[in-house]
Amino acid sequence: MKVLVLAALVAAAAAVAIRDEFQETVFKKDSMVNVDVKTKEMYILKLLNHILQPTMYEDIREIAREYSLEDNVDKYLKVEVVKNFVEMYKVGMLPRGEVFVHTSERQMEQAVTTFRVLYFAKDFDVFVRTACFMRERINPGMFVYAVTAAVFHRVDCRGITLPAPYEIYPYFFVDSQVIDKVFKMKMTKAAMDPVIRDYYGIKVKDNNIVVVDWRKGTRNILSPNDQVSYFTEDIDINTYMYYLHMNYPYWMTDEVYSVNKERRGEVYMYAQMQLLARYELERLSKNMCSVKPVVWHEMLNDGYWPKIRMHNGESMPARRNHVTPINQYNIEDKILADDIESIIREAIIKGHIEMRDGTRVTLQKAEDIEYLARMVLGGYGFKHDDAKVIHVSNVFKRVFSINNNDINKYTYVPGAIDMYSTCLRDPVFWRLMKRITNVFVLYKNLLPHYTRDEVDFPGVKVTHVTTDKLVTYMDEYDVDVTNAVYLDSVEMQKKRSDMIYVARMHRLNHQPFKVNIEVDSDKAVDAIVRVFIGPKYDCNGEYMTVNDKRLGMVEIDSFLYKLNTGRNTIVRDSVDMHGVIQQRPWTRRIWDRSTVSTGYGVKSVDSWWHKSRTGFPHRLLLPMGTKGGFKLQMYVIVSPVRTGRTVPSVDMSISQERHNCRFTTCVDTMPLGFPFDRPVVEREFYTNNMKFVDVSVYRKDMATSNQVRETDTSNYVMKREDLTYLDNDLMVPRSYRDVMVMDAENTAQV
């Protein structure tokens, strides 16, 4: 993988050497309504490039100078959204130098007001000109948020591949020690002391590529949760969380967006529960037990050190071990969280809830989970204005936010839990998620269990399920962090950085594998195939029953398949599994107009565009294995296609039209998570159309891998300071360091 990435970098660098990336894409003086998707994509890339500085492109500056919102109100579908933004802008919005924070109600209200202006532009031409106007006037973080949301939801922006968020703003994804080293190289123009450079793990390539080894830095371990930091701090899993929010923003409640025509509440709920199940599998691979829901009066024993420094120089605050969560500053948020949670739980028990406008919403049937999920995760019915909904998750987050004692309206230093792009890093977020999702577990537990007829598929039998050997390993990947540094005046004129700065990280990956399913059918019929993996034993080595592990089953694939009469052999390659995405293309590759923007072997632009914003990282399908094999179970169920379940506001064709087909929402109306979403009665559960099989996930040492050449450092620690001078590597296995320290002490005694 490293070779592929470096090859792409070399190609990109060569392309930069012979031409400017954007010379061919200049904003037109006339209408930009009918330009193709590729050209639209280039416009957006220019707007998001080096977002922390004023734009380097004269055409954007010219439009920003000449365009006036107040003089063009007739070019928007809703005049009031423009008036609201202008009034808010005149009163004062978040200053450009501040960090935009997702849990700040004031800042989110401003961001949504900005989004509405962009969203209600009548055509793409007006949208782009409005974006140019805002690019030079509003907070960069707020601008990126509003533009990203608009591109996600505007019809005329479909097909546009956005730069990965970790390339737009690397600060939230890359450790501060890496950013610091990049700045040192920028300031010295790569003319650092070679001894220091080697000590820091910095290499300068002949093609002006600076590679900083992410592993070369201080290892800080505050709690056992840091054992799985390779998963919680993974740039792709945090991008997935951020894009989940962008697909289903909690504040998007207005019917005019048509989002109420989708199963958005249920999808977002299930995605959160699946993330939690996947996290618990990773913990189990380290013999760590399940996450416990957060309890207000209990002390938080597990601290967290984010290792993130933001562009304004502030470091994201750390939370030490053994702290009391409730204090004088967050008691009001805690009371509000208690009140909302008690109202929702009471509504589940009673089977209905009355909204503020007097509407009575029933919570009794399977399909009512949509309303409950919107209520909990999207503020459904509490208020009727975008950005002013009561968002239960944000209320819970604010209880644990570091910044609960503001000095003024713009003093907001976010903790990791405050941002959608960083919240998965903090172990307390998973505990909050566990408490919130337990609301849905309560609701499902009160529904009737699935009968044999609901689970069975008469005439269909799953006879065999086999897989290739499941092998995981830690590979290398280079992250482009060039946008973290600032361009000087000469580089601004050239519209590019003289050097490309990348951070070389270690990340979890697995070898490609296939799942082979043999199915006998007595008829030709359409079927839904669902594939899960989950635990076999708990953290204490005890065998888990179906009910014990049903909430820990991770759905790795689900797809529509036409069964033929007789024997059917279904082969699913891991790279083709539904809802997964391979490596996101480098933005520099998208810039190269001679390269297909889908990148990395993806043949369909529509397919890649859809997966780029909804796909789960393919390389994280499997938890880290062990040398002897991490024992799991794979479960396959083949079910008939059922489309009879109805929710008045949901239209399956809307999801198909928007290419927003998460899980089985476009082909089936069964509850997401079926058949594990409700308690199981085992005497009625096991049928011929399903099968459990034992599987093992093996971990391959990097030293013996033919895909990577270095050593796995997940359990490595720093050498003693007096033993590191001019050494090739700063990191040694924990056991080896102990031996070295003993040898050093014995030598000193002699």
Task: Convert the pLDDT of each residue in 275-309 to its tens digit.
Answer: 999 999 999 999 999 999 999 888 998 889 999 99
- CB count within 10 Å of CB 560 equals 14
**pLDDT at position 708, please?**
34
Q: How far is the C-alpha of 17 from the C-alpha of 12, rounded, in Å?
A: 9
Contacts of 586 by beta carbon, 8 Å cutoff, 6+ apart: 5, 8, 9, 12, 167, 480, 599
Taking Cα atoms as reference points, which of 159, 83, 70, 164 lies closest to residue 116? 83
**pLDDT at position 147, please?**
98
Contacts of 750 by beta carbon, 8 Å cutoff, 6+ apart: none
Q: Are 550 and 680 in contact (CB under 8 A)?
A: yes
**pLDDT at position 408, please?**
66
pLDDT in tens, 199-244: 888 999 888 899 999 877 656 678 889 999 999 999 999 999 999 9
Q: Are 124 and 75 in contact (CB under 8 A)?
A: no
pLDDT in tens, 12-48: 443 443 334 444 466 666 667 778 888 899 999 999 9
**pLDDT at position 76, please?**
97
Per-residue burial over 317-348, b if 16 or more Cβ lie within 10 Å, else e, is bbbeeeeebeeeebeebbebbeebbeebeebb
**pLDDT at position 214, please?**
87
Tokens 């009879």 identify what position? Answer: 644
Q: Are 281 and 554 in contact (CB under 8 A)?
A: yes
361 membership: H or E segment, kind and range: strand 360-362
**pLDDT at position 711, please?**
37
Alpha carbon 651 to chain centroid distance? Answer: 26
Model pTM score: 0.88
Taking Cα atoms as reference points, which of 670, 608, 604, 677 lies closest to residue 639? 670
Q: How far is the C-alpha of 365 from the C-alpha of 347, rounded, in Å?
A: 13
Tokens 């500085």 identify what position? Answer: 53
Q: Are 476 and 2 in contact (CB under 8 A)?
A: yes
Q: What token pair was written down for 183? A: 């700045």
Task: Collect the ranges in the chain with pLDDT lower than 50.
Answer: 1-24, 593-604, 703-732, 736-750
Helices 369-378 and 427-445 meet at what angle, rounded to 10?
150
pLDDT in tens, 670-724: 999 999 999 999 999 999 999 999 999 999 875 443 343 333 434 444 444 333 3
**pLDDT at position 24, please?**
47
Q: How far is the C-alpha of 294 from the C-alpha of 292, rounded, in Å?
A: 6
